[in-house]
Amino acid sequence: MSKSRQAIHRLDYTPPAFLIDRVDLNFELDETATRVTSRLVVQRNPKVASADAPLTIDGEDLTLESVKLDGALLTPAQFELTPSSLTLPGIEQDAIIEIVTRLNPAANTQLMGLYLSNGNFFTQCEAEGFRRITYYLDRPDVMTRFTTTIIADKTRFPVLLSNGNRVGEGVLDRNRHWVKWVDPFRKPAYLFALVAGKLVSQTGQHTTSGGKTVHIEVYVEPGDLDKCEHALAAAQKAMRWDEERFGLVYDLDTYMIVATSDFNMGAMENKGLNIFNTKYVLAKPDTATDADFDGIDSVVAHEYFHNWTGNRVTCRDWFQLSLKEGLTVYRDQEFSSDIGSRAVARIQNVRTLRELQFAEDAGPQAHPVRPDSYLEINNFYTMTVYEKGAEVVRMIATLLGRDGFRKGMELYFRRHDGQAVTCDDFVAAMADANNADLEQFKRWYSQAGIPQLDCSSDYNEAARTFTLTVRQSCPPTPGQPEKLPFHIPLALGLVDRRGHDLPLQLDGETMPGGTTRVLELREAEQSFTFVNVPCPPVPSLLRDFSAPVRLDYPWTQDDLIFLVACDSDAFCRWEAANTCASRLLKELYLAAARNEKIVLPAGFIDSLRCLLTEPELDPALVALMLELPGERTLLEEIDSVDPGLLQQVCQSVKQQLARELRAELLIRYAQLNDGEPYRYDSIEVAQRSLKNVCLSYLAELDEPMVGEMLANQYARADNMTDRLAALKALVNRDGGEAQLADFAARWQDDALVMDKWFTLQATSRRPGALSRVEKLMDHPAFSLRNPNKVRALISAFCQQNLAHFHAADGYGYAFAADRIIEIDKSNPQIAARLASCFNRWPRLEPKRQAMIRAELERISTTENLSNGTFEIVSKALQA
Ligand code: PHE
Ligand code: ZN
């Protein structure tokens, strides 16, 4: 092995021997030789008895020019330098250290630390990127006051930004200028940011509840100024919402957002200076879909909310990542629910959770919400830490109630403002503020895996009682063979034969209390008896998806169709449709695997027909209920699966439904396709979503008229949502060559729109997808160095085009492995993410398993493979 691969363990945490009281940074920006001068005021940590421990600070890919200790220049013999650290012995109590380093931003292809994007400078420091800028105690529990002076060429870099407040500026010789920033809040290094370049800004304001004016500035490249309005409005909405819902007010005078097209992730919450992937800033109806607008709302809100949950109170160590991420995702989900449709937002979140987090939690990378060890921290920005973490916070809110949760938040900030803390501290604040016992609940942070609830019921006609029995279990996950029972909030209702919710009265209660109740599960098996139940009800279980579990109950198909029509809980209504469809698809798959044919049950078709023709229903919910379960979710539930066959079965079901519902689909489509000019508001978005689901069904029909409909919608659309929906259907149906060419000609200069163009082709189910992807890698708009492009083309093919990626010849696997090895050399973070396309190999039939294993072996034995990619691949091999 060419590299040392040393895992970091949560229980090895020790507080830092030194703290940094202040840091003054000076940047002389230059594309290939930026000089950074850092002045650190350090002192021994009074809480740590280690009087003789030397000071070791982190650094990576830096050229050290000089070190001064209390003003005296050190000779190389007086310090110790390794490729990852600088050690200074002999500091007694405190010291002032001045370090001068040089670095090469143009060579920074990892996009961690200081790098160039379209000629402008950006930084990315979370998790451990600051050490690539200067030597520092690069750990989140070292919180420091930062000042930053930036010096750069005035013509090429007119805008110079950093955290906090701008306190001075001036001009220098050689056409240079400088700006100085002071951040009044202590922060860990991962929240540092610097931006320099030719940027323009759209500005707005927010007046806080206390009457203070906050200036909001959205910085983009000059050509993009007409695409900032939505992001700016999102920031304003988020500021207002956080004040109203949690009493949290912004704490600086200016809030800045800067967009860059070269970014590994979605966006970053640097104090006062959030840096965003352009994908989550730039939008106008011509170029962005309704989903893109929603995405901007939630990511802008997410980063803004981090100012309190993440920045003011931060993480003690990276194992606590969900402390800020789970909580902040919960907050952005609540925000999206409040500004849009709560039911739709919830269903969409659950769909993502099931499709992506469940697969992670059932596979070789499964880890607790608070992991116990890692090789590469970048691999732990996962669906589990983020989305399951948010579900865990949501369960706390469900158990404590809305007011109880808010009290918990208030105590959390009262105790921990300005500190770096743990997930346990968060739970303790929640418990203490409510006098609640959350000890058992904490297992959600330490045990990985998807809990399984097996439910059964018994109706006693004579006693008029209904007893629900719930058995909970959790499958083993890597390193955790046995699990203890979880504390699970199970929300439910009982629906009578007329479709009405029954008042719920548990045995022992004197009065019924509500029609939705939250049962608290704590044991492996528990029974709950409801009294005064006049008739055998249909239980509506896990309302609003009250816990991230799998739930089984022996509903008949008729029960499910009944719930689709009657459940008062929108999530359960959707869930019933979804359960119905997914049972059916699995049966059909198994039949197809045996070479048998089954016809679709009439009851199922009719229930969809009802949804299409019922004018009272929210079109967005109907659209969600009509969409069949995703292949990725189904893949998790079928053993020894052949993804190609699964895709065929799903497509043929869709085709049959389209034939059966042809008339209703055409009518609904025509009604919704009203030719009104585009507006982005919740009613119009809902209508467009149903219209385009109808269109995607109709596109399955082999009729010339349908081809014309698609071509018409493509040609006449006044917005990207409709245009892309039509193009997608065309590409899957007959290739859509003419429209693809038209689209590229129109949008060749818009990188984000071209990403959509790449993805459509990468995910096309038509034969030859892989060779098209390979050809597209030579397209002038493509670059393997740009993460958005890799995601749009390569990841889209490997993660979303299951039938082609898993083609029986194994070429898809070889292609993925080649790209992973190639990308690992320039950007290991992106390579490691791509490598997770192989995670679910144990679910596949044996031939494909063997081919994937061979590719995983090939990657893992590649020379100089990064720790990140090695960690993913080696865990996949252990599955
Ligand atoms: N902290 C960022 C967020 O969740 C995500 C991120 C992590 C961005 C690491 C960049 C690098 O909002
Ligand atoms: Zn976040």
Catalytic annotation on 303? Answer: yes
The predicted-structure confidence for 779-805, as pLDDT tens digits, reads as follows 999 999 999 999 999 999 999 999 999
Which pLDDT score, from 0 to 100, does residue 1 have?
Answer: 40
Which pLDDT score, from 0 to 100, does residue 762 have?
Answer: 98
DSSP-assigned beta bridge partners for residue 373: 9
To test ligand 1's pocket by mutation, which of 115, 126, 192 has the most ligand atoms within 8 angstroms of CB? 126
The CB of 303 under 6 Å from ligand 1? The reply is yes
Closest atom of ligand 1 relative to the 129 alpha carbon: 11
From the centroid of its chain, how far is CA 712?
A: 35
Which pLDDT score, from 0 to 100, does residue 2 have?
Answer: 45
Q: With the C-alpha atoms ordered 280, 189, 406, 441, is the resulting torsion angle positive or negative? A: positive
Measure the CA–CA gap between 450 and 360, rounded to whole angstroms. Answer: 10
Q: Can you tell me which residue has the tokens 């973070």?
A: 829
CB 306 within 8 A of CB 269: yes
Helices (H), 661-750: 662-672, 682-698, 704-716, 720-734, 737-747
Q: Which two tokens stand for residue 803?
A: 């039938």
The predicted-structure confidence for 621-648, as pLDDT tens digits, reads as follows 999 999 999 999 999 999 999 999 999 9
**Ligand 2 (ion): which residues have CB within 5 A?**
325, 328
- In the chain, helix, strand, coil percent, each to 5? 45, 20, 35
Q: Average per-residue pLDDT in the chain?
A: 97
The predicted-structure confidence for 152-185, as pLDDT tens digits, reads as follows 999 999 999 999 999 999 999 999 999 999 999 9
When pLDDT is averaged across residues 688-712 and rounded to a whole number, the result is 98
Which pLDDT score, from 0 to 100, does residue 362 have?
Answer: 98
Measure the CA–CA gap between 844 and 853, rounded to whole angstroms. Answer: 12
The CB of 288 under 6 Å from ligand 1? The reply is no
Cis (ω within 30 of 0) for the bond into 436?
Answer: no
Measure the CA–CA gap between 582 and 576, rounded to whole angstroms. Answer: 10
Q: How confident is the model at residue 49 (pLDDT cuts 50, 70, 90)?
A: confident
- 826 dihedral zone (left: phi>0; alpha: psi -120 to 50; beta): alpha
- In Å, what is the CA distance from 92 to each residue of 3, 14, 18, 23, 232? 35, 20, 11, 19, 49
Looking at 90-94, 335-339, 709-713, which range is the least confident one? 90-94
H or E, element range at 399 = helix 389-416
Q: Ligand 1 center to residue 265 CA distance, Å?
A: 6
The CB of 269 under 6 Å from ligand 1? The reply is yes
The CB of 302 under 6 Å from ligand 1? The reply is yes
* CB hemisphere CA count around 447 (13 angstroms): 20
Of 395, 681, 686, 684, nearest in space to 519 by CA:
395
When pLDDT is averaged across residues 123-134 and rounded to a whole number, the result is 98
Of 718, 799, 717, 723, nearest in space to 756 by CA:
723
Strand order in the sheet with 538-541: 517-521, 488-495, 538-541
Measure the CA–CA gap between 259 and 242, rounded to whole angstroms. Answer: 23
Which pLDDT score, from 0 to 100, does residue 3 have?
Answer: 54
Q: Ligand 2 center to residue 84 CA distance, Å?
A: 27
The CB of 265 under 6 Å from ligand 1? The reply is yes
Kindly tell me if the per-residue pLDDT of 867 is higher than 50.
Answer: yes
Q: Which two tokens stand for residue 800?
A: 């979303």
Measure the CA–CA gap between 140 and 13, rounded to whole angstroms. Answer: 12
Q: Is 323 helix (H, G, I), strand (E, B) or coil?
A: helix
Q: Is 255 helix (H, G, I), strand (E, B) or coil?
A: strand
Of 524, 525, 427, nearest in space to 484 by CA:
524
When pLDDT is averaged across residues 258-275 and rounded to a whole number, the result is 99
The DSSP secondary-structure symbol of 84 reads T
The predicted-structure confidence for 452-468, as pLDDT tens digits, reads as follows 999 999 999 999 999 99
From the centroid of its chain, how far is CA 616?
A: 33
Closest atom of ligand 1 relative to the 329 alpha carbon: 4
Which pLDDT score, from 0 to 100, does residue 89 have?
Answer: 86
Other CB atoms within 10 A of residue 769 CB: 20
Of 175, 278, 181, 304, nearest in space to 224 by CA:
278
CB 726 within 8 A of CB 714: yes
When pLDDT is averaged across residues 572-577 and rounded to a whole number, the result is 98
Q: Ligand 1 center to residue 259 CA distance, Å?
A: 14
When pLDDT is averaged across residues 255-259 and rounded to a whole number, the result is 99
Measure the CA–CA gap between 621 and 260, rounded to whole angstroms. Answer: 35
Of 477, 367, 489, 403, nearest in space to 438 by CA:
489
Q: Ligand 2 center to residue 298 CA distance, Å?
A: 11
When pLDDT is averaged across residues 247-258 and rounded to a whole number, the result is 98
Of 60, 65, 38, 17, nearest in space to 146 by CA:
38
DSSP-assigned beta bridge partners for residue 113: 124
Of 277, 303, 299, 124, nearest in space to 786 by CA:
277
Kindly tell me if the per-residue pLDDT of 271 is higher than 60.
Answer: yes
Kindly tell me if the per-residue pLDDT of 300 is higher than 50.
Answer: yes
Of 748, 747, 698, 704, nearest in space to 723 by CA:
747
Identify the active-site residue in 126, 217, 303, 575. 303
Q: How confident is the model at residue 597 (pLDDT cuts 50, 70, 90)?
A: confident
Kindly tell me if the per-residue pLDDT of 510 is higher than 60.
Answer: yes
Residue nearest to atom 11 of ligand 1 (CA): 126
Residue nearest to atom 5 of ligand 1 (CA): 268
Closest atom of ligand 1 relative to the 263 alpha carbon: 10
The predicted-structure confidence for 515-568, as pLDDT tens digits, reads as follows 999 999 999 999 999 999 999 999 999 999 999 999 999 999 999 999 999 999
- Write phi, then psi, for 689 (nearest 5 degrees): -65, -40
From the centroid of its chain, how far is CA 440?
A: 27
Which pLDDT score, from 0 to 100, does residue 52 have?
Answer: 85
Q: Can you tell me which residue has the tokens 């097996």?
A: 454
